[in-house]
Amino acid sequence: MSLNKNINTVQDYEEVLAAMEGYVHGLKTGNVAELKKTFHQDAIMYGHLGNDLSQGSIDNLYAYVEKFGAAPNIKTNLTVLHKTTTTAIVRIEMEHDAADEDFTDYHSLIKINGEWKVVAKLFHLYDK
């Protein structure tokens, strides 16, 4: 009997969360090279930073991390909101990033050549 490739397994969820843990670790250490492993090269990012709309390339995230550096005090909670065998949506609640800001992120992932990559990030910055 062959395995049904249309079934979500626990391992699938663990792989998605492992990809997102790489993102969190990149933020914690301020390591842009590590962050880049999480994202597709053409990934996009949208969200408001105060009154300004951050929009477009994921390079905006890399510039933010380069500007503010490591976030050793970051606290996160990761939740897979939905997943198929090739797509996933993950919510990340974050407190105390490198700029001591709090965010909610929504990451859209796709499985390419057996590897999960973020193709889009939406975020909300909370007022303090």
| pLDDT tens digits, 6-57 | 677 788 899 999 999 999 999 999 999 999 999 999 999 999 988 999 999 9
- pTM for this entry: 0.91
pLDDT of residue 8: 75
Percent of the chain with pLDDT over 90: 88
Q: What is d(CA 119, CA 110) in angstroms, rounded to the nearest whole number?
A: 7
Give the residue extent of every domain in the chain. Answer: 10-126
| H-state helical runs in the chain | 10-29, 32-38, 59-68
Please say if the pLDDT value at position 5 is more than 90: no
CATH topology of domain 10-126: Nuclear Transport Factor 2; Chain: A, (3.10.450)
Three-class secondary structure of residue 23 per DSSP: helix
